[in-house]
A and B are shown apart, each in its own frame.
Chain A
Amino acid sequence: MKLNFSKEDFNKNKDNIMFNEDFVKNNFPNKRKENWKFTDLEKILNFKFKELSVYNKKNTITFNEKLQFDHYYLISINGNISKYNFGNGEKKFSSSSKFDTKDLLLKANKIHPFNNFTQDIKNDTLLAQNIAFADRGYNLELASSLSKPIVIYNIFKHDLENKFINISNEIKLLNSDITVIEYNIDYSNSSFFRSTFQIFDLNKSNLNYFIINKGSSKSYNYVRNKIKIDKSNYENYIFTSGTKFKKEDSEISLNSEDSSAKIMSAVFLKNDDHQEIQSTIRHKKPNCKSFQKIKNILKDGSKGIFQGKVHVSKEAQKTDAYQISKGLLLDQKSEFSTKPELEIYADDVKCSHGSTSGNIDEQAQYYLMSRGLSKKNATRLIVKGFLTDVISEIKNKDLKKIINSHLDDVINYEN
């Protein structure tokens, strides 16, 4: 596979232009790298793409499929924010504009200098590429709570075939309690590669971050999250059924006492979809909690992967870390792989992990069918039931309804 880019594709940061072009050229991680052992990106991209060209167009569209509940929103087209509404009506947004109130700042993406990430990019060519190319994204800062959730309508449209889109986002919270919903809709019907780098900086705040896909997408997605948690609670809910390829890597630092991090996921993978969640949670201070529950339903030779690493430093006594991952395999061709990893240096901790993967319970199927349900309907109920304990964690009623109906659509589509 050939990666096409020119000098103009490098974003405007001087350091980044200086950056060695060879480094970003044709260099994608493969399974020899620990974090990529279940996801050979090099092979996957080579198989799909003859070439990828760095995408640098900025488009706008009209969008009117908003969710039916009270919320603020940003509309992002191919990663580029084009509109927003924080309560005073819909406003246009361009990369040069910004929205600034006492407690809220919305700007276009930050261009990161390489120097800030020299450690990270040494082993991470995708991040290096992102820092070099990312020319879109948002930067949101809040210093108080919002009464309504923010939906980020992440729309993909126009011809994106063989494009390489690099996005960088940042959310910075201080004394803020918010819900952010990334709502992905792909109208492009193209195969493209989206790489997103996101920084979350939480200080005395609560962030509930949802990722929901509407419909299906032929896109390939890599997301790298760097999450810093200070006296805060971070909750991430992942409902990304329908995407061909996705790897979401989260590096979470619990930097002060009484903080918590939670990752919950419920996805239904089919048609050889490949999705991985990889997390590294660093418990650095005492009395922090981390909780991860990953549920995958797999069909048609799809692959689901969870790699969860928990690191508890010597100082982090009374750590409570829990992770569970479960795969429900609807056929023999599909695979669910997990690799839990615990690295614990404190002695007074509660850490546990578990993982199961199995087929559908035929006794349950029989029981339901003996009440008149077709095999299809019986299977649907059981499959939905498998995801129930993730859905029941969602506190916001409107969101719960939306997510329930999305999952029903995915499950009822067939089988």
Chain B
Amino acid sequence: MLKIINLKASTGGKDILKGLNLEIKTGEVHAIMGPNGSGKSTLANVLSGKPGYDISGEINFEGKKLNNVPIEERAQNGIFLAFQYPLEIPGVNTSNFLRTAINSIRKAKGEKELDALSFIKLIKEKASELKIDEKFLSRQLNVGFSGGEKKKNEILQMKLLEPKLSVLDETDSGLDIDALRIVADGVNSYKNKDNSFLIITHYQRLLDYIKPDYIHVLSNGKIIKTGRSELGQQLEKTGYKYLN
């Protein structure tokens, strides 16, 4: 599904990704761990098409080169990024935004747009799965949401937009145990053999809920180690230091 070859990315005169290789096959769950500042969010941003990076190397998504594809087309083609720090957007009504988003993607896929009624039905169902109070849907997007509420809202968007590849950037950070479980259940119930995940996290505890097929360690802009799930437990005990 995703194949990254020798990806380098820099911004503001700083080289952040320094030759990264990664392949995620359809149906696989990959986790990326790594110290702060190693370039995890940069990788996520670059995948989403965030402007402002100088990029070399190649990103292939479903066999097509992604490097110059505009942000919205990536989303329409099935790439989703749950942000580490979801933005507050004053004045933009959450449910209005969600409906515009879902219909943008449906339209791009050549599907019929959802009318108001079917949308409300759908969103109520997905929100209740994530134990999100309906009141949030009529609020301004992320404005005044707690950290946990913002993260849940990201997962709600994921479930509504039904991406092929979901990149979760530290979605577990700042969540209490109950919220963590809800988010993990949300991911697990969406996971199937046709979609893939790239989960960025610092903590093994999320990976106890969402079992990754592979764990990669990102350090200083490169993947320095790849292993199976035992690697996570090992890192939990020893930290990243011994890897260097």
Contact surface of A with B, Cβ cutoff 8 Å: 361-364, 366-375, 377-378, 381-382, 384-389
List, in ascending order, chain A residues with CB within 8 A of B86's CB.
Answer: 367
Binary flags per residue of B95-116, CB closer than 8 Å to A gives 1, else 0: 0110011001100100000000
Complex CA gap A389/B91 in Å reads 7
Binary flags per residue of B58-92, CB closer than 8 Å to A gives 1, else 0: 00000000000011101110001101001101111
Q: Of the candidates A362, A372, A378, A386, which one forms a contact with B108 in the assembled complex, judged by CB atoms under 8 Å apart?
A: A372
Complex CA gap A237/B136 in Å reads 28
Contact surface of B with A, Cβ cutoff 8 Å: 48-51, 70-72, 74-76, 80-81, 83, 86-87, 89-93, 96-97, 100-101, 104-105, 108, 140, 157, 161
Complex CA gap A372/B100 in Å reads 9
Tell me, rounded to whole Å, the shortest Cβ–Cβ distance linking B5 to chain A.
Answer: 23
**A/B interface sample: 10 pairs, CB < 8 A:** A366-B51, A368-B97, A369-B70, A369-B75, A370-B71, A370-B74, A370-B81, A372-B104, A386-B90, A386-B91
Complex CA gap A251/B150 in Å reads 46
The closest CB in chain A to the CB of B101 belongs to A371
A369 pairs with B72, CB closer than 8 A: yes
The closest CB in chain B to the CB of A370 belongs to B48
B100 pairs with A377, CB closer than 8 A: yes
Complex CA gap A361/B87 in Å reads 11
A370 pairs with B49, CB closer than 8 A: yes
A381 pairs with B108, CB closer than 8 A: no
Tell me, rounded to whole Å, the shortest Cβ–Cβ distance linking B47 to chain A.
Answer: 10
Q: Of the candidates B48, B50, B71, B96, which one forms a contact with A381 in the assembled complex, judged by CB atoms under 8 Å apart?
A: B96
Complex CA gap A375/B49 in Å reads 13
List, in ascending order, chain B residues with CB within 8 A of A371's CB.
Answer: 75, 97, 101, 104-105, 157, 161
A385 pairs with B140, CB closer than 8 A: yes
- Main secondary structure on chain A at its contact with chain B? helix
B105 pairs with A382, CB closer than 8 A: no
The 7 closest A-B pairs by CB, nearest first: A385-B91, A388-B91, A372-B75, A371-B101, A372-B104, A385-B92, A369-B71
Tell me, rounded to whole Å, the shortest Cβ–Cβ distance linking B48 to chain A.
Answer: 5
List, in ascending order, chain A residues with CB within 8 A of B92's CB.
Answer: 364, 368, 381-382, 384-385, 388
A373-B104 contact, Cβ under 8 Å, with A366-B71, A368-B97, A385-B140 = yes
A367-B76 contact, Cβ under 8 Å, with A372-B105, A373-B100, A388-B140 = no
Complex CA gap A57/B105 in Å reads 56
Complex CA gap A382/B86 in Å reads 16
List, in ascending order, chain B residues with CB within 8 A of A366's CB.
Answer: 50-51, 71
A375 pairs with B91, CB closer than 8 A: no
A381-B72 contact, Cβ under 8 Å, with A366-B51, A367-B83 = no
List, in ascending order, chain B residues with CB within 8 A of A364's CB.
Answer: 87, 89, 92
List, in ascending order, chain A residues with CB within 8 A of B49's CB.
Answer: 370
List, in ascending order, chain B residues with CB within 8 A of A377's CB.
Answer: 100, 104
Complex CA gap A306/B140 in Å reads 27
List, in ascending order, chain B residues with CB within 8 A of A373's CB.
Answer: 72, 100-101, 104
B81 pairs with A368, CB closer than 8 A: no
Complex CA gap A377/B97 in Å reads 10
Tell me, rounded to whole Å, the shortest Cβ–Cβ distance linking B228 to chain A.
Answer: 31
Complex CA gap A389/B93 in Å reads 12
The closest CB in chain A to the CB of B104 belongs to A372
List, in ascending order, chain A residues with CB within 8 A of B48's CB.
Answer: 370
Complex CA gap A385/B94 in Å reads 11
User: Which residue among A364, A367, A382 has the maximum number of chain B CB atoms within 10 Å of its CB?
Assistant: A367
Starting from the known contacts A367-B89, A381-B89, A385-B92, 20 additional A-B residue pairs (CB-CB under 8 Å) come to: A361-B89, A362-B51, A364-B87, A364-B89, A366-B50, A367-B87, A369-B72, A369-B75, A370-B48, A370-B74, A370-B81, A372-B101, A373-B101, A374-B72, A378-B72, A381-B92, A382-B89, A384-B92, A387-B91, A389-B91
Complex CA gap A362/B87 in Å reads 11
List, in ascending order, chain B residues with CB within 8 A of A372's CB.
Answer: 72, 75-76, 101, 104-105, 108, 161
List, in ascending order, chain B residues with CB within 8 A of A374's CB.
Answer: 72, 104
The closest CB in chain B to the CB of A371 belongs to B101
Tell me, rounded to whole Å, the shortest Cβ–Cβ distance linking B96 to chain A.
Answer: 7
A363 pairs with B101, CB closer than 8 A: no
Complex CA gap A377/B105 in Å reads 12
Tell me, rounded to whole Å, the shortest Cβ–Cβ distance linking B134 to chain A.
Answer: 19
Complex CA gap A367/B50 in Å reads 9
List, in ascending order, chain A residues with CB within 8 A of B87's CB.
Answer: 363-364, 367
Complex CA gap A382/B92 in Å reads 6
Complex CA gap A372/B105 in Å reads 6
Complex CA gap A368/B141 in Å reads 10
List, in ascending order, chain B residues with CB within 8 A of A375's CB.
Answer: 72
List, in ascending order, chain A residues with CB within 8 A of B74's CB.
Answer: 370
